[in-house]
Amino acid sequence: MEFYRGDYKTFCAERRKARHAAFLTAIARAYVLVDARAHQRRDGVKLVWSEDLGYPDPPTECQMRYAGAPKAAIARLRQGNLGIESKLGCWTGEFLLGLKLSGSLAEKEPGRYRIDSKLHPQLIGDIQNWILAGRLGSPDRDGRRRLIACPAVTHLPADDPQGASVMAGLFAGARLSLIGGEQWLVLPDEEPIRQLLKDWTILHYPSRCIQRRSYIKVSPFSAPLFADLMPGQSRDRILRIRKPAMCPLLPITYWELGFSLLKTGRRVLPFADALPFGISRRTFFRQGWRRRELHRKAVQELGILSVDARLRSRMEQWFERHEQERSDHRKDSN
């Protein structure tokens, strides 16, 4: 009998633990998508409740408190893997991490972020239409707006801190500056950013100081490769850059290094959009470019010794997508 009682107690404890885990997962989902006070509002949790949690009905407010909310629910949110990744769109933990690294999401106080609406109007427009819980406050006299009641920005983790979505957030939040008649993406000169760019083999150079803070500059060439991971207005800002620095030198060089020997009969860029901010084959020869000079420029002048496999894959995806668009356009024309 004693054995039965002990086994039954263990069974009840495990069932209670599983039930509380399901409740906390649902609350964490609601924190991200519905309401920062979801632990006090059952209707908010009901919107994200699903059968995969193992229970037919969402918890009551009393059950949520008994499960340990809000503290335990926030801890669950910080663990990630909530099962709502498909609903987030581009607003993943990785993309938000990139925005934080770029400085566009500036942390004034621990867990409290604000955005400069003068520097990042497109990002403001994207946030106003996002799917996440939270909203923007009124601008202060300097145009800065606080993010209010947005647990996702504060607590949602990045599953891959060096992934493509982090790069998308980094470029979406970068400043666009005109330096020497060319447009550059300007980022804070900090070790995590420099290491991230180095790992992706993306060229970067020292830039000017702004308000006693050092910055680095990056050619806009790489940013469109991650545009499909950005929200609408931020994506359009990147794709509509008119005077990208180091272009068309970079697309020509990267094509020579990565694709000229693999694409039969395509020793130079076959069309202008084969890589971001490229030029057509006819323009290549009309402007006096020569293939024999490109390897020397790549190694001696640009310092391109290798291309990361992930960056090469993004270029390949860009090329295939635009080649397919050209093919579809020709079919429609005929």
Asked whether residue 4 carries a pLDDT value surpassing 50, the answer given is no
The DSSP element (H or E) to which 184 belongs, if any, is strand 182-188
Tokens describing residue 56: 């037919």
Tokens describing residue 145: 């707006």
pLDDT at 213: 85
Q: What are phi and psi of 65, to 5 degrees?
A: -65, -40
Tokens describing residue 18: 């599983």
Tell me the Ramachandran region of residue 212: left when phi exceeds 0, alpha when psi lies from -120 to 50, beta otherwise. Answer: left
**Most confidently modeled of 240-249, 290-299, 300-309, 324-333?**
240-249
Same domain membership, residue 256 and residue 218: no
Q: Measure the CA dihedral 76/170/231/127, to 10°.
A: 60
Same domain membership, residue 301 and residue 285: yes
For residue range 225-240, list pLDDT tens digits in order: 999 999 999 999 999 9
Separation of CA 180 from chain center: 29
Q: What is the pTM of this model?
A: 0.91
Of 51, 84, 117, the one marking the end of a domain is 84
Same domain membership, residue 221 and residue 119: yes
Same domain membership, residue 308 and residue 257: yes
Of 55, 84, 113, the one marking the end of a domain is 84
Same domain membership, residue 276 and residue 257: yes
Same domain membership, residue 314 and residue 219: no
Query: What mean pLDDT is reported for the chain?
Result: 90
First to last CA, the chain: 84
Same domain membership, residue 170 and residue 206: yes
pLDDT at 15: 85
Tokens describing residue 82: 């909530």
Same domain membership, residue 162 and residue 115: yes
Same domain membership, residue 199 and residue 93: yes
At 93, the pLDDT band (50, 70, 90 cuts) reads very high
**Burial track 267-299 (b if 16+ CB lie within 10 A, e otherwise):** ebbbbbbbbbbbbbbeebeeeebeeeebeeebe
Same domain membership, residue 212 and residue 111: yes
Q: Is 253 exposed, middle or buried (0-12, 13-18, 19+ CB in 10 A)?
A: buried
Of 43, 58, 84, the one marking the end of a domain is 84
pLDDT at 6: 56
Distant-in-sequence contacts of 196-204, Cβ < 8 A, 24+ apart: 196/101, 196/162, 196/166, 196/167, 196/170, 199/162, 199/308, 200/162, 200/167, 200/308, 200/310, 200/311, 201/304, 201/306, 201/307, 201/308, 201/311, 202/311, 203/246, 203/250, 203/302, 203/303, 203/304
The total of other beta-carbon atoms located within 10 Å of residue 143's CB is: 14
The full DSSP string for 312-324 is HHHHHHHHHHHHH
| Domain of residue 110, CATH code | 3.10.28.10
Q: What is the domain count for the chain?
A: 3
Same domain membership, residue 183 and residue 198: yes
Question: Which residues share a beta bridge with 187?
Answer: 216
Asked whether residue 1 carries a pLDDT value surpassing 60, the answer given is no
Give the structural domain span for 225.
89-242
For residue range 26-67, list pLDDT tens digits in order: 999 999 999 999 999 899 999 999 888 888 888 999 999 999
Same domain membership, residue 223 and residue 143: yes
